[in-house]
Amino acid sequence: MSEDSLFDDASRRLEKALKYVSLSEDTKERLKYPKATLIVSIPVRMDDGSLRVFQGYRVRYDDTRGPTKGGIRYHPNVSIDEVKSLAFWMTFKCAVLSLPFGGAKGGITVNPKELSRMELERLSRGYIDAIADFIGPDVDIPAPDVYTNPMIMGWMMDEYSIIRRQLSPAVITGKPVSIGGSLGRNTATAMGAFFAIETIMPKFECIPEKTTVAVQGFGNAGSVLAELLCQGGYKVVAVSDSQGGIYSAQGLDIPSIRQYKESNKQMQAVYCQDTVCNIVEHQVLTNEELLALDVDILIPAALENQITEKNATDIRAKFIFEVANGPINSAADKVLEERGIYVFPDILINAGGVTVSYFEWVQNRSGLYWSLNEVNQKLKEKMVVETEKIWQISQELSISMRTAAYVHGLNRLGEAINAKGTRDFYVKN
């Protein structure tokens, strides 16, 4: 892949949608480029006394609808191209969910598993020190993403507050509840995806108990969603993490697998009673083999570009729900659509995270905090309403759910950009 191919591929998502919307030239021009891009160097004193310098990034893509919003990821493959692409997707995700935000993203090129906890804290605080003038509660509000968590967000919020010499909880979302985080934020991405799945599947007369599911990616979003589906009666037959996966045609006991992984840092097909876990019969498989399983629902919940034109013909699932950002590239999209496989896009399916981040921001600014039930109920309302709207657009225009989601987002972005005045407004006599 060329250096900028990920962003080019992300931009191609708009091509089909543009045929179904009436946009001003101003809107098209504004959405071609990110509003601002920042690349920083972060020097960190390591535990052994040596100095390492890490590369950090933050991209604010568009702020027409409000301050930008987007996570921060720690990963060895983080690049400016990836961060720009993720910020682009966040712009549409916020528009699709009708949140008063634009899109942003950030990241550091690092393998966090190689750092001690103190090194991780120094890196996190150093990143905020480097980008402090680029973010703010009314400018750009970061959140957690791949390999970042509530504690890291707490360090970042604390560092920003030290720099500003005032407590600023609304600058970062995804914080620990004890220092201004929202109840339900940790499970929000999975919960939002679950609400979307529960809205969509009855339209195909699918009964949970007769519906098989494979989940690629057993991190925060994938593991929680697998458990929600298991509790909802779905038969989760396969899950995987970065090391590989496990499969059982009879179905897996997801709560037991989560418990075992949290305790032992590895995945096993187990059934647990209290603290005693017994390994059950299962098959070991690779992530590639999991993607090709004959299941009803496939859920890519890992990283981008997992399904490409090279393996799209191997996919046997009837429905794909994108919990990861950009797990399917545009070339694979075409193959899957031709094969009659329904793809439900990331900018809708994984939007629960940014939605509850919005709720956290609102709570921080108002000083009024909601119960878990209130948060989940508000999230459900948002996800169900927007899923139904996109489904309706898809049916009325006979287009894919991905194209329908972009049509929905483009209409909202276009309205906001037009509200500030376009060529048509200024040249009228």
Residue 5: per-residue pLDDT: 67
The structure tokens listed for 191 are 């919960």
**Confidence class of residue 2 from pLDDT cuts 50, 70 and 90?**
very low
- Tell me: pLDDT of 1 over 50: no
113 is known as an active-site residue: no
Cβ neighbours of residue 296 closer than 8 Å, sequence gap 6 or more: 206, 211, 212, 213, 317, 318, 319
Q: What is the mean pLDDT of the chain?
A: 93
> In 10 A of CB 179, how many CB atoms?
15
CATH topology for 33-169 is: Rossmann fold (3.40.50)
Distances (CA, A) of 285 to 56, 214, 220, 226, 319: 35, 12, 21, 17, 21
* CATH of the domain spanning 188-349, picked from 3.40.720.10, 1.10.10.10, 3.30.110.40, 3.40.50.720: 3.40.50.720
Task: Identify the active-site residue in 35, 93, 105, 382.
Answer: 105
Give per-residue pLDDT as tens, 376-418: 999 999 999 999 999 999 999 999 999 999 999 999 999 998 8
Give per-residue pLDDT as tens, 88-135: 999 999 999 999 999 999 999 999 999 999 999 999 999 999 999 999
- Locate CATH 3.40.50.720 in the chain: 188-349
| Averaged pLDDT, 209-231 | 95
> In 10 A of CB 305, how many CB atoms?
17
The answer to whether residues 380 and 356 touch, using CB atoms and an 8 Å cutoff, is no
Give per-residue pLDDT as tens, 53-89: 999 999 999 999 999 999 999 999 999 999 999 999 9
Residue 429: per-residue pLDDT: 54
pLDDT > 70 fraction of the chain, expressed in percent and rounded: 98
Q: Tokens 């999209």 identify what position?
A: 333
| Averaged pLDDT, 209-217 | 96
Q: Report phi then psi at 343, rounded to 5.
A: -115, 125
- Locate CATH 3.40.50.10860 in the chain: 33-169
| Averaged pLDDT, 191-207 | 96
The residue with greater pLDDT, 29 or 174, is 174
